[in-house]
Chain A
Amino acid sequence: MLSTGLRQLGFAWSMLSGRGFRVRDAMALADDVRATIEEFGSAGDGAGDMLSAPDPEVQDGLTRRRLRRTVRNAARHTPYYRHLFERIGVDPASVTPDTIASIPPTPKNALRSMPAAFVSDRARPAMAAQTTGTTGIPTTVWFSQYELDITVATGALALMLTAGLRSEHVWANCITTRSIAQYLEGRSVPMAGAGYVPIGPVDPRVALDRLATPMHLPGKRPQITHLNATPSYLAAIVQEAERDGWTAADFGLQEIHVGGEILTDALRDRARELFNVPVTDGYSMTEIIPVAGQVCAHDHLHLPVDLGYVEVLDPVTLEPAAPGAVGSLTITPFLSYRDTTTLLRYVTGDLVRVLPEAEKLGCEMAAVPATSRILGRVTGSDLTTRDVLELLQAERALPLPTRYAIEETGDPGGPVLHVVAERASRTLSARLEGRVADLALPLSGVVLVEDPADLPTPCRVRADLREHTFHTVPAGRSA
């Protein structure tokens, strides 16, 4: 208890000072929290405060300090930013949250084209993570052993203190085994004491079978309790389970976590209906680790301010988006968590809406700043990915995962929406067009196709990152 107290003080000091963590202490602290929970059933009083931000005034000072250290380090040691600062003539020491606009935002393409230029000269690169590259070109991000370890330790703390993961639980991951999230969770979930099952994005029938399979392990629930997947893979599972007659009673699930893509209300409701468990929507991406957001019960995306500096920039002008306007999430991960691939004002391309000034946060996460949920990309005139997915996933006759393409035709009514359907019919088409009109979406028409190859442009979703297995499950009874 005395040594734990010292470790907690050290962890708190690192959090407050913005300096690096002592990895050994952070790991030991995660072990201490797990042991405490296993002994008493819960962490001690005030445990949640270990990961939460202090009051706003203190937070402002901390943000300035962390940002200053991060910018100064990038300008000194990261080739891309060293050249950038020389070119723009800005003194890195002068950068504060008020003057951060003096640094040009970093576009995704810059990192994609020369990832090594973003790796600090002082770094000790240990592991490369490539993004899935659904847009065609993956982005490479290097991590040091320090970054991996500290992210694992803080991830384990968050799983225990925020997500309520306990040693009796079994966590299954259906995200691609090539992702950094798979690696990190593969270490942080066992550190939290829970069991970890890396299923990967295999044939959804195999995944369902694994979820239903009894395990009867000592100290664990008899079946998998937590599922982590991308929304498109969850959609594939939901589709398969509905077709094959699975019910919630076949599984032991307690929670589903999704992230990496847009989770629509329609898909969330369908998954809840099928598995009878809450579906938690999160946001993160490889480049901005450890910055991660969570969607609250009021459908806001909350992004904590102590892991990185978060901005929402107008996608065209790259100026701060006004309240109520749509902008791109732009993130600067802080140096204490990221010392290898360093990024300043990284434009994620993921759009959100800045909350109107009149909108007061009244949810359980009100202390953490928030935006709207992720809207995706803008396709056509003011049409977002979320608009299209909400429209299509509310229609149960369409197959999951949803596949579509937007075709600009020059029609003043807007682009044409091409959608993959199992059976293209006039009735279905009319129903969709009726909903387009009801929602006043800027679309001039809906075209149904029965083969994804007939879409004018390929539609890639993360569920397509299918991994093969020799484990086969016979076709479903009602399929």
Chain B
Amino acid sequence: MNHGLQGALALDTVVLVTIGLAVGYLAKVRMPRPPAGLFVRSDIVIMVALLVIMPFAYLDMPAALVCTVFGLTVFVGLQFTLAPLIGGRGAVAVATPACAFEIVAYFAHWSTALMLVNDVALVVVATGVTNLWVQTGMRPPLVAGFAAALVVYDTVATGLSSVTSDFMHLVNGIPFAPMLAARYTPEPIMMGLGDTLMLTLWPLVAIKSYGRAAGICAIAVDVLLMAAVFAGFATGAITYIPLLTPLGLLIVAQYFYWRRRIPVVVPVRDPLEAALRASYGEDEPADGTWVALHEGKVVGRGDSPGAARRTAREAGVAEVPVTALGRP
């Protein structure tokens, strides 16, 4: 196996580790929530807008400014991901030297060390960001909508134009680059943070909304997709791929599958159903009399609904009965 394939395999492994960490984090850690607010459609619209605009903006920014923006993002991401585990101060104590090291490594030309530390930081950030989204109520339809938008975006930006390619060259080898990397220039092997986030996000949302089976299925789909891409690289059929194009379509497909398989159940009001099925028989109440019904049987009578409810309680019925007026 050549070095390129080893690098791709390493990246796939890192993504799987990220998914595993995110699933464990979801099970064990409760992130602080903002006072009010859920992840709603407008948030997705804002995110998509930023996603479309920012790469163009970055291409026109000085590299130092791009580094600063990503550095702040990584620092904040590390801090809020680690704070629930080791406390706010502990998180700062970890995030600060990690970020400082990336800067030092860049100026010292320790490219391998920079790459490794940045990869670890991005794994932690991806774990935190995806958990933040899921734990603030990001629901499957929103993820599916986001994924659908990303299909269009990635197809255009990566597949049909040079936006992603130019962006990769811009951030190649700089501190806090939003790319998981197995090798920098001259022949970079990298995977965008957006790809990592979406590969991680859907399994979490699937587990939370549809259960473990859906989560396992989502991870299996991720693995199969990464295997297919790896095979494409191995055979030379592809040299790059807009990963979000197939991934987005697969997420949308999974969403429709699970939505159909596990429909939203509107609870039935059993006491009312039982009362409507009831046949009073000899207990037929007189016109103007109220009856209390429990499990289809008359358990109380009265001149008013409250009185009928009370006689039911006096008769030993602990549950709240249904009251109905005697049929004329």
Contact = CB atoms under 8 A, between A and B. Distances in A.
Interface of A: 1-5, 8, 29, 32-33, 35-36, 39-40, 43-47, 49-50, 208-214, 216, 218, 222-223, 246-247, 249-250, 252, 473-474
Q: What are the nearest 7 A-B pairs in CB distance? A: A4-B37, A209-B306, A212-B306, A44-B33, A47-B35, A222-B320, A213-B305
B306 A210 contact: yes
Nearest to B268: A218
A216 B36 contact: no
B37 A214 contact: no
A1 B309 contact: no
B133 to A, nearest CB: 9
Contacts of B37: 1, 4-5, 8, 32, 36, 44
Contact of B322 (A36, A210, A216, A218): A216
Specify the main secondary structure of chain A where it touches its partner: helix
B269 A218 contact: yes
B168 to A, nearest CB: 27
Given A1-B40, A2-B43, A40-B137, A216 B272 contact: yes
Q: Is the interface of B mostly helix, strand, loop or mixed?
A: loop
B35 A216 contact: no
Contacts of B309: 212-214, 250
| Residue with the highest number of chain B CB atoms closer than 10 Å, among A33, A36, A49 | A36
Contacts of A222: 271, 320
A9 to B, nearest CB: 11
Given A1-B34, A213-B323, 7 more contacts: A43-B36, A45-B32, A50-B35, A212-B309, A213-B304, A222-B271, A249-B313
Nearest to B275: A216
13 contacts: A8-B35, A43-B35, A44-B34, A45-B34, A208-B306, A209-B307, A212-B306, A213-B305, A214-B271, A214-B323, A216-B320, A218-B266, A250-B310
Given A40-B137, A252-B320, A4 B306 contact: no
Contact of A216 (B32, B269, B310): B269
B136 interface: yes
A216 B271 contact: yes
A29 B321 CA distance: 37
A29 B36 contact: yes
Contacts of A46: 35
Interface of B: 32-40, 42-43, 46, 136-137, 266-267, 269, 271-272, 292, 303-307, 309-310, 313, 320-323
A5 B34 contact: yes
Contact of B33 (A8, A45, A246, A247): A45
Contact of A1 (B38, B271, B310): B38
A473 B34 contact: no
Contacts of A32: 36-38
Given A1-B37, A246-B310, A214 B32 contact: no
Contacts of A43: 35-36
Contact of B38 (A39, A45, A49, A247): A39
A44 B35 contact: yes
A252 B321 CA distance: 12
B31 to A, nearest CB: 10
A250 B269 contact: no
Contacts of A246: 310
A32 to B, nearest CB: 5
Contacts of B272: 216
A209 B304 contact: yes
A213 B307 CA distance: 8
A249 to B, nearest CB: 5
Contacts of A50: 35-36
Given A1-B43, A210-B306, A214-B321, A47 B271 contact: no
Nearest to A212: B306
A261 B55 CA distance: 64
Nearest to B305: A213
B313 A1 contact: no
Given A46-B35, A47-B36, A3 B43 contact: yes
A471 B159 CA distance: 72
B40 A250 contact: no
A345 B40 CA distance: 45
A214 B267 CA distance: 18
Nearest to B271: A216
A36 B303 contact: no
A35 B36 CA distance: 8
Contacts of A249: 313
A225 to B, nearest CB: 12
Contact of B40 (A3, A8, A40, A208): A3
A208 B46 CA distance: 52
Contact of B303 (A5, A40, A473): A473
Most buried by A among B36, B39, B292, B306: B36
A13 B74 CA distance: 29
Contacts of A4: 34, 36-38, 40
A398 B111 CA distance: 90
Contacts of A47: 35-36
A4 to B, nearest CB: 3
A250 B271 contact: no
A422 to B, nearest CB: 24
Contacts of A8: 34-37
B316 to A, nearest CB: 11
Contacts of B36: 4, 8, 29, 32-33, 36, 43-44, 47, 50
Contacts of B34: 1, 4-5, 8, 44-45
B136 A1 contact: yes
Given A214-B322, A216-B269, A250 B35 contact: no
A44 B32 contact: yes
Contacts of B321: 214
Nearest to A33: B36
Contacts of B320: 214, 216, 222-223, 252
A250 B38 contact: no
A223 B305 CA distance: 12
B20 to A, nearest CB: 25
Contacts of A36: 33, 36-38, 137
Nearest to A252: B320
Nearest to B293: A214
Interface centre among B306, B309, B321, B322 (most CB of A within 10 A): B306
Contacts of A247: 313
A45 B303 contact: no
B208 to A, nearest CB: 12
A243 to B, nearest CB: 14
A216 B274 CA distance: 12
Nearest to B39: A1
A36 B38 CA distance: 6
Contacts of A35: 38
A473 B137 contact: no
Contacts of B39: 1
A24 to B, nearest CB: 14
Contacts of A223: 320
